[in-house]
Amino acid sequence: MSKKKGRKVKYLVGVDVGGSKIMAGVFTHDLKQLHSVKIDTWVHRGPDAVLQRIIDCAKDAITGAGLKLSDVAAIGVGTPGIVNPKAGTVVVAPNLRWENFNLRSRLVKAFRRPVVIGNDCTTAMEGIYEVELRKKPRNALGMFMGTGLGGALVLGGEVYSGMGSIAGEVGHMVVERTGPRCGCGSQGCFEVFSSRTGIANRMRAKLQNGDASMLKELLAQDQKEPGTLRSEHLHDAIKQGDQLAERMVRDAAEYTGLAVASLINLLSPEVVVLGGGLIGALHEQIMPIVHDQVRSHALLRFLKEPKVFATKLGDRAGIVGAAVLARRAATGH
Amino acid sequence: MSKKKGRKVKYLVGVDVGGSKIMAGVFTHDLKQLHSVKIDTWVHRGPDAVLQRIIDCAKDAITGAGLKLSDVAAIGVGTPGIVNPKAGTVVVAPNLRWENFNLRSRLVKAFRRPVVIGNDCTTAMEGIYEVELRKKPRNALGMFMGTGLGGALVLGGEVYSGMGSIAGEVGHMVVERTGPRCGCGSQGCFEVFSSRTGIANRMRAKLQNGDASMLKELLAQDQKEPGTLRSEHLHDAIKQGDQLAERMVRDAAEYTGLAVASLINLLSPEVVVLGGGLIGALHEQIMPIVHDQVRSHALLRFLKEPKVFATKLGDRAGIVGAAVLARRAATGH
């Protein structure tokens, strides 16, 4: 480990806040992971409880790495929703029940260390770009399928943020004009089909219409306590021959493939990388369908075929990316 | 008029090649238009005939402006299809029946002047950006509805071209998974619904199913000689109460609005500008529907609302943009 300008070596903390789980990792300056902790988010306990869970999770990770808070150079946090990184606020995160939530100042108060926050997908993409995309493509697309469905764009070698800080809202591209209502107020959004929440909602609707599934009880429980149904449950049900789960995951994969193909036609990226909990647990089911859809719908006769793959970082993409943000905050680059 | 470094003032020629019409304009260095000419493309006469039409059109414009070829500093040409500006070739332009067509070298041979070529939509967007978007937005989206349906993206203040030179293929975003087949080999592409060719095809299908329209004969003729049905015909038919034309144009506008909303959610641009023949003739019918769809489907609660409007350049956007390309070729900026 290198010492810079005689200063003591400091460590980075990356936190990834999800609708179901919070994960925190402690990293060296060159992004070697020392320790990580994963706990439930417990969204149903309310906004302040979620904040406390984030603090607890990060502290556990630091302690677990055998370090003290004073050893930490900076803390990065990726959170779902619309984030204003400059102001340090979460404008709105329906999955966490946050609105105009002053996340950074509250974390600074708790940790007395520099804190930087970002959108969860953008942050995961920073991690993937830094450690997995070694060729540093100029243009790349990230798509993250979990509780919700988000995206991130790298354009011209930089994470793209549009006019505000919410570009890359892949989940709210409309893929079926007459599709089901989405929580955003629109209808037929991609997220309605291809997020875990969307799959759960569609399965519940099918159960009401007389379909059967071994996940029936879990789905009922999930409605009261969102996040109860995990991607792993869908995976196990499919392995055990559950046809409804299989059909809904196939639908999710088909829409994902369509969206990927559309975005290839639109942006001609070099790389499309998929991540998030659904991909982590179900990439064997999902990726072949995505590849099929890309072959049928992307203009591959005319454009260079991009690499389309699932991130090998799995559910670590978020904490690695958050550590990248923390390193940037600590070192200025 | 300013003289630069004692050299004689030279003029710019901009040509816009469409599936139905070719237009050429002669411009001063500061993009003042001196003269323009518009003729039929006559695609059915074959690839070489189209080339000759381009040459004739540009020569007519130069003569009409009272100039000689030697007065022309450079010629810019926007053409549909996939263009390789560096090589000066049109990789493929189905609407013109061109494949690996060496457009630039053949035009240089005809004119003995510097020639630069570009994709028609990208070129139109260059024109709009230069003369109409005075605030020089960092991120903007152009969508052009004519014989086909194309797009162009300005990202970070520059026209975006992805990995190759075919980014911005808005027309081949999939908007209906189970929609009609598209000429590109995919199905349910946006172009199938919202281009003039798409509207004509859908109207013919409806006529076969027993619908009625005063455009029946024109539509039959258009099938033999694509381009016979003009946007103006659709406009006039709607004004005279033709319900089928009205319904198909409304569908086209709804899908356009959906695509615009999706792209706003994805890219959060400052400006979305619509152009092309359909918009030129039918903006009064189309734009209110587009605005409605944007209001229902874009995440406007969370992002800054972009300006969505029809270009005031009308069908001149292409030749102005081509003149911008020509000026860049002549002056190096």
- Render A258-324 in DSSP notation, one character per residue: HHHHHHHHHH--SEEEEESHHHHHHHHHHHHHHHHHHHHHS-TTTSPPPEEEE-TTGGGHHHHHHHH
Q: Is A66 left (phi over 0), alpha (psi -120 to 50) or beta?
A: left
**Cβ contacts (< 8 Å) between A175 and chain B: which residues?**
174-175, 177
Contacts of B247 (CB under 8 A, 6+ apart): none
Confidence (pLDDT) at B147:
85
Q: Kindly report the length of chain A.
A: 333
Q: Which residues pair with B275 in a beta bridge?
A: B144
Confidence of residue B133 (pLDDT cuts 50, 70, 90): very high
Residue B3 above 70 pLDDT?
no
Residues in B touching A299 (Cβ below 8 Å)? 166, 169, 172, 184, 186
Sheet with B72-79, strands from edge to edge, namely: B33-40, B21-27, B11-17, B72-79, B115-119
Minimum CA–CA partner of A271 in chain B: B163
A333 pLDDT tier (thresholds 50, 70, 90): low
What would the two tokens of residue A162 be?
């549009």
pLDDT of amino acid A259: 92
Give the 3-state secondary structure of residue A247. Answer: helix
Amino acid at B65: A
| Closest alpha carbon to B185 in A256, A253, A265 | A265
Model confidence at A94, pLDDT cuts 50, 70, 90, reads: confident
**Average pLDDT of A13-28?**
95
Q: What was the pLDDT predicted at B234? A: 97
Q: Are B202 and B248 in contact (CB under 8 A)?
A: yes
CB–CB contact A268 B301 (8 Å): no
Task: Output the pLDDT for position B135.
Answer: 92
B296:A82 CB<8 A: no
Cα(B102)–Cα(B266) distance, rounded to whole angstroms?
Answer: 35
Q: What is the pLDDT of residue A8?
A: 58
A219 contacts: CB under 8 Å, gap ≥ 6: A200, A203, A204, A207, A213, A229
- In this predicted structure, the answer to whether residue B266 has a pLDDT above a threshold of 80 is yes
> Do residues B205 and B244 make contact, with C-beta atoms less than 8 angstroms apart?
no
**Is pLDDT above 90 for B181?**
no
CA distance A325 to A83: 14
Q: What 3-state class would DSSP assign to B174?
A: strand
CA distance linking residue B96 with residue B17, whole number of Å: 9
**CA-to-CA distance for B226 and B230, rounded, in angstroms?**
10
Which residue in chain A is spatially nearest to B170 when comparing CA positions?
A266
Report how far residue B236's alpha carbon sits from residue B220's, in angstroms, rounded to the nearest whole number.
Answer: 18
- When mean pLDDT is compared across A18-32, A226-240, A305-319, B3-17, the lowest value belongs to B3-17
Q: Is residue A148 very low, low, confident or very high in pLDDT (cuts 50, 70, 90)? A: confident
Query: Would you call B177 and A175 a contact, using CB atoms and an 8 Å cutoff?
Result: yes
Quick check: B116 and B104 in contact, CB under 8 A? yes
When pLDDT is cut at 50, 70 and 90, the band that residue B105 belongs to is very high
Compute the distance between CA of residue B200 and CA of residue A105 in angstroms, rounded to an integer.
58
Average pLDDT over residues A100-115: 96
Instruction: Of B51, B197, B46, B60, give the one whose Cα is nearest residue B117.
Output: B51
Decide if pLDDT at A185 tops 90.
no
Closest residue to A304, CB basis, from B156, B163, B270: B163
Evaluate if residue A68 carries a pLDDT over 70.
yes
Q: What is the CA radius of gyration of chain B?
A: 20
List phi, psi (to 5°) of A310.
-85, 140
Q: Give the model's pLDDT for residue B185.
A: 80
Among A3-17, A291-305, B102-116, which stretch is predicted with the lowest mean pLDDT?
A: A3-17
Question: Minimum mean pLDDT among A176-180, B5-9, B211-215: which range?
Answer: B5-9
Q: Which of B15, B16, B49, B21 is nearest to B196 (CA)?
A: B21
pLDDT at A81: 83
Instruction: State mean pLDDT over B77-86.
Output: 90
Q: Which residue has the tokens 């070694």?
A: A134
Q: Give mean pLDDT, residues A97-116.
A: 95
pLDDT band at A3; cut points 50, 70, 90: very low
- Which chain B residue is nearest to residue A263, measuring alpha carbons? B173
Contact B303, A161 (CB under 8 A): no
A303: closest chain B residue by CA: B164
Question: Do B266 and A185 lie within an 8 Å CB cutoff?
Answer: no
How crowded is residue B225: how many other Cβ atoms within 10 Å of its Cβ?
Answer: 11
Q: What is the pLDDT of residue B6?
A: 44
What is the C-alpha to C-alpha distance for residues B123 and A232, in angstroms, rounded to an integer? Answer: 49
Asked if B267 lies within 8 A of A167 by C-beta distance, the reply is yes
Confidence of residue A167 (pLDDT cuts 50, 70, 90): low
Q: At what angle do helices B216-224 and B196-208 cross, to 10 degrees?
A: 120
Q: What are phi and psi of B38, to 5 degrees?
A: -135, 125
Spatial CB neighbours of A147, under 8 Å, sequence gap ≥ 6:
A18, A19, A20, A80, A95, A195, A196, A197, A226, A227, A277
In this prediction, residue B247 has a pLDDT band, given cuts at 50, 70 and 90, of: very high
ipTM entry: 0.82
Question: In A, which residues are within 8 Å of B161 by CB distance?
Answer: 268
Q: Is it the case that residue A9 has pLDDT exceeding 80?
A: no
* Residue of B262, B289, B305 to mutate when probing chain A, most A C-beta within 10 A: B262
Query: CB distance A172–B265 less than 8 Å?
Result: yes
How sure is the predictor about A165, in pLDDT bands with cuts at 50, 70 and 90? low
Most confident of A151-155, B122-126, B174-178: B122-126
Place of tokens 């494949």: B99
Structure tokens at A207: 């159960």
How big is chain B, counted in residues? 333
Q: What is the pLDDT of residues A28-44, one digit of tens each?
A: 999 999 999 999 998 88
Q: For residue A183, give the 3-state DSSP assignment.
A: coil
Confidence category of residue A159, pLDDT binned at 50, 70, 90: confident
